[in-house]
Amino acid sequence: MDVYLQDIRKAFPETVALHGVSFEARPGEVHALLGENGAGKTTLMNILAGLYQPDEGSIWLGGQRRRWRSPAHAIAAGIGMVHQHFKLVPPLTVHENLLLGVRGPLWLHRRRDAARVASLAREHGLDVDPLARVWQLSMGERQRVELLRLILRDARVLVLDEPTSVLTPQESQALFATLRSLARSGRTVVFISHKLEEVLRAADRITVMRGGRAIATLRSQDARAADLAALMVGRHVTPPQPSPPPPGAPVLEVDRLTVPGDRRPLAVREVTLTVHAGEIVGVAGVAGNGQRELAEALAGLRPIASGAVRLDGRPLERATVRDRIEAGLALIPEDRLDVGLVGEMTAADNLILKSYRQPPLSRRGVLDPRAVRARARAALGRFSLAVPAEAPVRLLSGGMLQRLLLARELAEAPRAVVAMSPTRGLDVGAAADVHRALLEAQSRGTATLLLSEDLDELLLLADRLAVMYDGRISAILKRAEFDRPRIGLLMAGGAA
Amino acid sequence: MIRIERRAPMSREAAAGLRLAGVAGALLAGAAFLSATGHDPGQAYLDMLRGAVGSPYAAQQTAVKAIPLALTGLGVALAFHAGLWNIGAEGQLAMGAFLASWAALGLSWPAWALLPAMGLLGLVGGGLWALLPAVPRALWGTNEIITTLLLNYVALLWVDYLVFGPWADPSAFSFPYSRPFPDAARLPLLPGTQVHAGALFVVAIAAALGFVLRRTAWGYEIRVTGHSPRAAAYAGMPVRANVLLVMVLSGAVAGLAGMGEVSGVIGRIQQGISPGYGYSAIIIAWLARLSPWGTVGVAVLFAALINGGFALQTSGVPAAIASMLQALVLFSVLVGDFFVSHRVAVRRGRAAALPAQEAAAEP
Ligand SMILES: Nc1ncnc2c1ncn2[C@@H]1O[C@H](COP(=O)(O)OP(=O)(O)O)[C@@H](O)[C@H]1O
Ligand SMILES: [Mg+2]
C-alpha cells in the first residue's frame, strides 16, 4: 500500500517535533528513515500509526485520505508498528501474545493455531517457539514475535522503530533478510535508524530527517555514507582518531569475579580482566549478558559473591562506594539521569555530586556557594559546555547530560573509569564528543573499561576487546584480531 | 475531546496570578452558597477576616494556632526533602506531648531546669516515635506512609489511656485530662503578647532548616537522596543512615510541637491535644513547596482560616458551612496550583488518541 504523509506538523508543549514533514513509501520497498536523536522520526511514525494526531497535514493510504480515530483504527487499516520498547506481555506465551487483540473466537486452539503460526514464521524466517513464554526470549526473538503479530493481523505497512538497537550483528542480518522477504511479498516496510552502514546495506530508499524536517530522500545505491552523515547532522563531523599511548602498569584488575543477579542466581561468573594505565578495554555483548552487573559490582553498587577487584594493587572488593571513588575509580552509569545526575538539581549542584565533602567546596560540613560556582565554571569551561547554570538538568538533551556527566567524572583524571553504554541514544556529534573525552582521558593515563552494545564504538576505541556472553568472558581479542563476524559469533554464544 | 496535559512552564507572576484567581473563585462560590442559604456573604467574610486578624487579640490567637502547624509542617517538609513521607506527625506530636507531660507532672524542678527538660523530652518523644517506622524503611524499604500513619493511632490511644487512667485528674470527675501542670512547667508568653515562647522554636527551626538544607554538605546529601536515591548511592552517600536521621529529626520537631501545646497552650495533657495539626502539616508543607519559611507563612494562613471559621460560627453561620468554606478555599488553592503545571486541552472534531496510549508511546 502506498503511504503518503503530507506536510505533517506536530507540536509538544515544549518543542515543535515536526515542522511540516512530507514522507512517501511504496509497496515492495524497504524504506529507511534516518536521523539523529530527536529528529522527529518516532513522532512521525507514531502519527502514521495513529498514536498521535497531527496538528496539521494529512495521511494518505493507497491514494485515500485517512484520519485515525485511534491506534486500533490504524491497525485495522493495515498499519503495523514495532515500537522501540516492545509491547508484549512477558508472562504469556508467544502464541498467546500473538492472539492478543486479534478479533475472533475468544478461546485459543493451542495446537491448531500453533501450527499456523509456525508455518507463517517459516515463510519469513521468523522462527520462535510458539509455546515459549516471552520473558524467556532474547530481544531478537521478542522482535520476531512483534513482527509475527503484525503479519497475523495482515498489516500491509510495517514500521519498525530502531529495530537493530537490541540485536547482535547476526540478528540484524537476519532481520534485514526478513524485511526484504516481507517487502517482496508486496508489503511496505519502513525502518527507523541512526546507523549509516545498516541503512545503506538494507534499504532501497532513505529519507533523512533533521530537526523536525525531512531533508532529502535518496536511493541507497546513489548515496554515500559521508553525504548521509552530513545531511543527518547538518555539517561535517570528523570522527576522533585514537592514538593510544603504550599501555602502562596494570591499574584495574578483576580476578574471578562472580556477582549474583536480580533474576538469576549468577549474572557475572568468574570474570577475569586487567586494564592497564592508558588502555581502553572494551566489553562487547548483547544487553543482559551481565555487563550491567559487572559495572555495578566494580563500582560497589552491587554485592559480589566471590572474586577480587584491585585498583593499583589495592584490594577493593569489600570497599565502600566512597572508598572506591576516593581511590580514583569513576563510573559512567547506564542511566545518565537518576543515577549519574540528579534531574531536579542544577548543573552546578550536579558537578559536586562526588566532591561535595572536599575543601574548598565545603569546610567542616558547610558548603561554600562561591566555590561551588567556581567549580562549575571551571568544569563547564574545560569541556566548553554551554549549560544554563541555574536550570534543573532534566531539561537538557541527552548529549548535554552525558557531556556534563563526563565533565564531572573525568575532570580529575581518575585512575580508572568504568563506562557503561556512554553514547547510547546520543546523536553523532555528541557521541563524537564523548569518544574524544574518553580518548583524552586515555592519553592522560586513565585505565578505561568500556561496556557497550555498539560494536562500531568498541572497534573504534578499544585496544583490546572482551566478549561477554551469559555472564562469562568468552574471549579477549587484541586489536589485530578484531573481526566483526567472529565477534558477532562470540556475542551470540558461539565458540571462537 | 477534552483532556488534561502538562503545560510549558509559566512565569512566576502568571503562576501567582493563577493561584490568587483560584482563591477568588472559591470566595465567589462561597458567597453564592452563603446567600443561597440566607446569609449575608459580605458580613460573613468580614466576620471571618475579623476573627482571623481583625484585632490584636485575634491576630495573636492566629499566631498561637500557627505554632503547632508550622512545627509539624517543618518536620514533614524535612522528611519530604529526603523523599520520605512522614504521615505520622500527629502521633509524633502526641508522643512529644506525652514525654514532656511526664516531666511536668513528675518533677518538681524550677522552671529554668524543667522547661528545657520538657523541650528535650518533647524532641525525644517525637524522634523515637519516628525512629520506629524509620528502621524497617531503612533496612528493608518498608513503606513509611503506612507505618507512620498507623502509629498515629497507637500514639493517640496511648495518650487516651494515660488521661483516662493513670494520669487522670482525680478532681475532674473522669474528664479525660490530667492534673494541671505546675507554673514552672508552663512556657512563658513573649513579653507584651498572648503568644507563648513556642513561637521562638518555629523561628529557630525554620532558620536552621533553611541553612542546613541549602548550605551544608549534609543538607546536600538529603536533597540528592530525596530527588534520586540511586544517585545518592552512586555518589557513595550513607543513604540508610540518612533515612534514620531525617526521620528522627522530622519526628523530633513534631514532638516539640506537642510539648508547645501542652506547656504553652493547654497547661495539661488531655484527650485531643491536636485537632489534626499533623495531617494539615502535610498539606502545608506541600503548598509551601517544602521551603522552610514558606511553610511558616502557609501555616499562618492556615491558622487564619481556622480561626476565621470559628468566628463565623459565633456570628450564626452553622459550623458545617464554616468548614465548607475552609475546604473550598483550600481546594481551590490546590486546584490553582495544579493548573500552574497542567492545562486542559480541548480538541475539535472526532479526535485523538487516548492519553494513556499517548503516554505509552513516549520512549
Ligand atoms: N510525548 C512527547 N512529549 C513531548 N515532547 C516529545 C514527545 N515525544 C517526542 N517529543 C519531542 O519531539 C522531538 C522529536 O522526538 P522523536 O520523534 O522521539 O525523535 P527521534 O525518534 O527522531 O529520536 C524531540 O525533541 C522530543 O523531545
Ligand atoms: Mg526515536
* CB-CB neighbors (< 8 A) of A344 in chain B: 227-228
CA distances to A177, A422, B6, B11 from A287, rounded to whole Å, are 22, 14, 33, 43
3-state secondary structure of A418: strand
> Are A409 and A378 spatial neighbours (Cβ–Cβ below 8 Å)?
no
Task: Give the nearest chain A residue to B212 (CA atoms).
Answer: A366
For residue B355, what pLDDT is reported? 38
ipTM of the complex: 0.82
CA distances to A315, A351, B106 from A268, rounded to whole Å, are 19, 31, 62
> Are B151 and B247 spatial neighbours (Cβ–Cβ below 8 Å)?
no
Using pLDDT thresholds of 50, 70 and 90, give the confidence band for residue A89.
confident
Best A334, A366, A424 member to test B by mutation, with max B CBs in 10 Å, is A366
3-state secondary structure of B221: helix
Best B234, B245, B347 member to test A by mutation, with max A CBs in 10 Å, is B234
**Ligand 1 site, residue A54, Cβ cutoff 6 A:** no
For residue A100, what pLDDT is reported? 75
* CB-CB neighbors (< 8 A) of B361 in chain A: 46, 51-52, 83
Neighbours of ion ligand 2 (CB under 5 A): A 42
Q: Of the segments A96-100, A394-398, B277-281, which one has the largest average pLDDT value? A: B277-281
Q: What is the pLDDT of residues B109-168, one digit of tens each?
A: 999 999 999 999 999 999 999 999 999 999 999 999 999 999 999 999 999 999 998 999
Q: What is the pLDDT of residues A256-274, one digit of tens each?
A: 999 998 877 899 999 999 9
Q: Three cell numbers at A171?
A: 540478528
* Structural domains of chain A, ranges and CATH numbers in brackets: 3-233 (3.40.50.300), 250-342+412-491 (3.40.50.300)
DSSP letter assigned to residue B264: I
Element (H, E) at A376: helix A369-382
Which of A42, A81, A190 to probe ligand 1 with, by most ligand atoms within 8 A of CB?
Answer: A42
Is the pLDDT reported for residue A302 higher than 90?
yes
pTM above 0.90, yes or no: no
Task: Give the nearest chain B residue to A52 (CA atoms).
Answer: B353
3-state secondary structure of B87: coil
Is the pLDDT reported for residue A385 higher than 90?
no
**Ligand 1 site, residue A40, Cβ cutoff 6 A:** yes
Q: How many CA atoms lie within 13 A of A176 on its CB side?
A: 20
* Residues B237, B231: Cα–Cα separation, whole Å: 9
Q: Three cell numbers at A296?
A: 555495578
**Ligand 1 site, residue A399, Cβ cutoff 6 A:** no
For residue B352, what pLDDT is reported? 40
Using pLDDT thresholds of 50, 70 and 90, give the confidence band for residue A495.
low
Taking the centre of ligand 2 as the mean of its atom positions, its distance from the CA of residue A37, in whole angstroms, is 6
Identify the burial level of B174 via C-beta atoms within 10 angstroms of its C-beta, where 0-12 means exposed, 13-18 middle and 19 or more buried: exposed
Closest-CA distance, A402 to chain B, in angstroms, reads 15
Instruction: Tell me which residue in B215, B231, B353 faces A70 most closely, judged by beta carbons.
Output: B353
**Ligand 1 site, residue A214, Cβ cutoff 6 A:** no
Please state, rounded to an integer, the average pLDDT across all residues of chain A: 89
Please state, rounded to an integer, the average pLDDT across all residues of chain B: 89
Using pLDDT thresholds of 50, 70 and 90, give the confidence band for residue A496.
low
**Percentage of chain A with pLDDT > 90?**
56
**Ligand 1 site, residue A12, Cβ cutoff 6 A:** yes
Give me the amino acid identity at B283: I
Is the pLDDT reported for residue A155 higher than 50?
yes
Q: Does domain B68-316 have CATH number 1.10.3470?
A: yes
**Ligand 1 site, residue A402, Cβ cutoff 6 A:** no
Judged by CB atoms closer than 8 Å, whether chains meet at A53 and B351 is answered as yes
For residue B363, what pLDDT is reported? 35
Q: Which of A226, A222, A178 is nearest to A202 (CA)?
A: A178
Q: How many CA atoms lie within 13 A of A258 on its CB side?
A: 9
Q: Hey, where are the domains in chain B? A: 1-39+317-346, 68-316
Give me the amino acid identity at A189: V
Q: What is the pLDDT of residues A414-431, one digit of tens each?
A: 999 999 999 987 877 788
Helix/strand/coil percent split, chain A, to 5: 35, 25, 40
* Residues A86, A82: Cα–Cα separation, whole Å: 7
Helix ranges restricted to H, A273-313: 291-299
